[in-house]
Amino acid sequence: MTIRVYIFPLIFLSVVGCSKSDNGSEPQPLPVSNETAWSIPQTEVLGSFPPFPLITENSFVPVSKVQYPDNHSTALISFGPNELRAYPNAYLALYEVINNEYNGKEYAITHCPQTVSTICWNRKVESTTITLKASGYLYNENLMPTDIESGTIWSQMLMRGVRGKYDYVFHDTFNTVETDWKTVRTLFPNAKVYRPETEETSIETTIIESEPTNRDFFRYGILSGINNVTVHIFSYDLFDGEGLVLKTTLISGKRVLVIGNKKLNFISSYLMYNNTKYMVDPSNPYQFIDDQGNVYNAMGLVLQGPDKDLQLQSPRAYTAAWFAWQDFFDHFVFEE
């Protein structure tokens, strides 16, 4: 395997990401052993096993309390009315796995700086709540979390266990939207921003302004199938407009609404109900409406209408570097 080195405009500090071992050296192939088998090629698993710290702090502050460069990468997760959570890359790249909960929903936000992929896991697996941290291993240069309860090693982008008790077990996800800080503060000023109380000095002060993100490098993918996965690929260029651009597609027999805006660095997707029709809100181009009288924000939450406070469900989807999609999957549908 060839180790790629990329310099991303949103990487900051001297943070050792999932692309390096603890001592800063390039990760090395694992020695062949007769221990628990891997369900992926062991020769393509790099690194060693000094797990990252376990992060469970559930601390958030208002948008008005923090400052980041406008183009600072930030992940958004909506848990319904009154609970939109924002995770700045400042902490995601530092910890790589953050375990949190909200109103009975136990989740882990996972981020790999090398493949630039962020996925929110449902930590409830086979009726057991697991707790995750970065293992120190990489597969195809991508983060491999481990859960402390069973010691299973997981693949972030495959979204399943690859060694141990939960081998070939797929976890559920919560919809995650990767965008930038300007979009958060302007469109979602009521979001709650992750910031651990234990930080003695605000990490925001160490971030350096950089050039705008090169979105040509990234693709948004929606996954269909389990064993023979097909990835439906969406380029950010498809969403070039003044407001939200809406597209519909069929994935695994289900109608899916995909919305986005290139300038906002924003793409998300939602499962469509029955024969409901959706369109951009003529009174606010950054919202959308349906033919049932509902008004939605870009995170798929009903703001007004008969289904007020309903949160639309999403398919398995995330944004990643294009090279990473190609390393993990063979079958693609390029959406237009």
In a domain, 29, yes or no: no
Same domain, 290 and 152: no
Same domain, 223 and 194: no
In a domain, 16, yes or no: yes
What number of other Cβ atoms are within 10 A of residue 65's Cβ?
Answer: 11
Same domain, 127 and 240: no
Domain membership of residue 103 as a residue range: 1-22+41-211
Please determine, for residue 205, whether its predicted confidence score (pLDDT) is greater than 70.
no
The pTM (predicted TM-score) of the whole model is: 0.89
Percent of the chain clearing pLDDT 90 (strictly above) = 79
Return the exposure string of 243-258: e unless at least 16 CB atoms fall within 10 Å of the residue's CB, then b.
Answer: bbbebebebeeeebbb
Same domain, 175 and 232: no
Same domain, 274 and 288: yes
Same domain, 47 and 67: yes
Residue that finishes a domain, picked among 211, 232, 252: 211
Residue 161's pLDDT is what? 98
Residue 24's pLDDT is what? 44
User: Which tens digit of pLDDT belongs to each residue from 161-171?
Assistant: 999 999 999 99
In a domain, 244, yes or no: yes
Please determine, for residue 51, whether its predicted confidence score (pLDDT) is greater than 90.
no
Same domain, 196 and 240: no
What number of other Cβ atoms are within 10 A of residue 29's Cβ?
Answer: 12
Total domains present in the chain: 2
Residue that finishes a domain, picked among 163, 181, 211: 211
- What are phi and psi for residue 41, nearest 5 degrees? -60, 115
Same domain, 232 and 148: no
Residue 227's pLDDT is what? 83
Please determine, for residue 265, whether its predicted confidence score (pLDDT) is greater than 90.
yes
Of residues 61, 64, 101, the one with CA closest to residue 79: 101
Residue 80's pLDDT is what? 94
